[in-house]
Every structure is written in structure tokens, then in C-alpha cells.
Amino acid sequence: MTDTIVVDELSKWFGPKVAVSEVTIGFGPGVTGLLGPNGAGKTTLMRVIAGLQKPSQGAVSILGQDPRAHPAIYQKVALVPEDEAVYERLTARRFVELAARLAKVDDPRGRAQRTLETVDLTGPADRRLGGFSKGMRQRAKVAAALVSDPDVLLLDEPLNGADPVQRAHLISLFKELGSAGRTLVVSSHVLAEVERMTERVVAMVDGRLAAVGSVADIRSAMTDRPRLVFVESTDNRRLAAELMTTEGVIGIHIEPGRLRVEASDAGDLAKRLPGIAIGAGVGVSRVEPADESLESVFRYLVEGGE
């Protein structure tokens, strides 16, 4: 699949501080999660992709064009910025209408109304944004971005401040847009949210790309990290003693009610565990991988980058 956004050898520095360093990556249709701890360079990368900041080195193209040189591309590209900033004195409706007029869309008023409906903001649409909660502002910003019906949507921490119902609604909206073939890049430091939106993630640590791909692929590629598996059995101590001599088992921790097993290959352990348990006369009630979640993978990436 052709990448809609192409980032080539991109670096961005501010004086002596390097915010993004030699990043090369492509984003195609669908939702991609951009992950990283605070200060990892996510927002800077978003801003450079959006054309708000000039690359210090390297290049960015969206739909084959450099956004800084071709502002017409903004007909198809929109950003939901991280800041809470909105025009406090405008109503949500006026704000979205202004975005529609600046984007030169047909029937800006009707389009604004439909977009406000999409983000479930029609009720308070005629109230000033200054009186909105953080979550409502986020939805107004998303509406302003969506009003031009963009093919590429850059969302910087779009769920900040949204309540659980709003989050679920926005996540479902983003997934729907991604499924419809639009390119969405969603930055977040809340891993559970990203996990609910997409499988494909881009992780950044200290301004560099730490990993790209699905969570499972990234975890599989971390061969230097033992796989953690929780095992619950009828006799954890006896099973631990048997596992100690098993090839591929690196370490065992006896925890209350379960064993935490570190193995070089979790799949191999899962295959061999029933035989070992039968041999030891122990019944196994539960086997659960402990570090294949996005959070575990991300923690490894961050620790590895330090």
C-alpha cells in the first residue's frame, strides 16, 4: 500500500536541543498510533509533518507534496493540535464554520452542522468555546479538522480531557475514518487508548524511532528480552522445581498464587508445559503471557532507550 505521508531522514532541532533525529517512516491509510513518553518528539514530528515547522534536515511529503511549499494540500490535510487553544469568544458552531470557510468548502454552514453532529456536539454548539470543558473543546477541535473532509488527519493527543463516553465515541469515529481509507496518525501517551484504536504503532524515544509495526511484531523482534509468562497450578513450588531444569527457562519467581516464568521463547514453553506438569503430577489451571501488551512493549522500548 502506498504511503500517504512520507518522512525521509527528518531531523528537527531548536538551538542545541535535538527534538527529532533522523526519522524515516511512512504512514499509509488506516489508523497509526504514535507513542512516546513526554519529550519523545511526538508533537514536534506532528508539527513538522503538518508543515507548521520547517525540517532542520530531511523532508516530508503528504500525498506527494511538501505541505510548506503547497498550502493547497491543506484542502486534504487537517490537524487537531495538542494545545487546548481555541477561539474562546467564538461559539462551537462559529468556530467550525470559520474552519469550513477558510477551507473553502461548499455550504460551510450545512457542513459545520453535519460535522458537529458527527462529534456529538450539536447541543452546546451555540455556546462560547471559552465556557467549554476540556473534553468538549477537544470535540470542537476534531469537528473543525473534519469539516473539510480531509484524507489525512493528524491528531495530537485528541482524547485528552474527554470523559469515558466521549473517548469511546471518538475512538469509534477514528476507527471508522481509518476503515474508510483515510490516513490517521494519532499521538498519545495513553497506551490503552491506542490499543483500542489500532494495532499499528510507531514508538518514539528521545526523538528517535524506537519501533514500528504491530505490537506483536515489535515484541517478537525484542529477542534480547525474555518473555514473561504467568502460570497458576495446583502446586506452584513443585512445578517451579521442575521448570528450573527446563531448557529455555531463564528464571522463575514464586509469587502469591502463581509463578512468573521468564523464558527465551514463550511459544516453546507453552508447548512443553503440559508434559512437564504431568511429569511432576501438578495440574495447571492458567497460563498467561505477561508482557505482550502494548504497555509492556512500550516500557521495554523506553527502558532500552535510556
Partner 1 sequence: MTLAVHLYRRIMRRGRLIGLIALSSVPALAFWLSAYDSAPDEATLLYSDILARLGFSYAIAVLILTVAILREERDAGTLPYIYMRPIGREAMAASSIAAGVAAALTLALAAWLVSVLAVLAVGAPADTSLTGLTQYLAAGIGYAAVFVPLGYLVPRSILVGLGYIIVVESILAEVVTGLAQISIWRIALSISADIGANENPGEMLGAITPGTGGGIAKLAVILVLGFGALTWALRRRDAL
Give the residues lining the site for partner 1 (CB under 8 A): 47, 50-54, 68, 71-75, 77-79, 81, 83-87, 98-99, 101-104, 144
What is the DSSP annotation of 29-89?
Answer: SEEEEEE--TTSSHHHHHHHHHTSS--SEEEEEETTB-TTT-GGGGGTEEEE-SS----TT
Cell 527502558 sits at which residue?
303
- Cβ atoms of residues 92 and 143 within 8 Å: yes
* Angle at which helices 108-118 and 92-102 cross, to 10°: 120
Output 131 or 251, the one with its CB closest to partner 1: 131
Q: How far is the CB of 79 from partner 1 (least distance, A)?
A: 5
Output 50 or 231, the one with its CB closest to partner 1: 50
Cell 480531557 sits at which residue?
161
Output 84 or 255, the one with its CB closest to partner 1: 84
Q: What is the DSSP pairing of strand 183-188 with strand 200-205?
A: unpaired
Note the Cα 213 to chain centre separation in Å.
Answer: 11
Q: How far is the CB of 167 from partner 1 (least distance, A)?
A: 22
Output 27 or 298, the one with its CB closest to partner 1: 27
Q: How far is the CB of 83 from partner 1 (least distance, A)?
A: 4
Q: How far is the CB of 166 from partner 1 (least distance, A)?
A: 21
- Cβ atoms of residues 263 and 227 within 8 Å: yes
Q: How far is the CB of 32 from partner 1 (least distance, A)?
A: 19
Output 1 or 72, the one with its CB closest to partner 1: 72
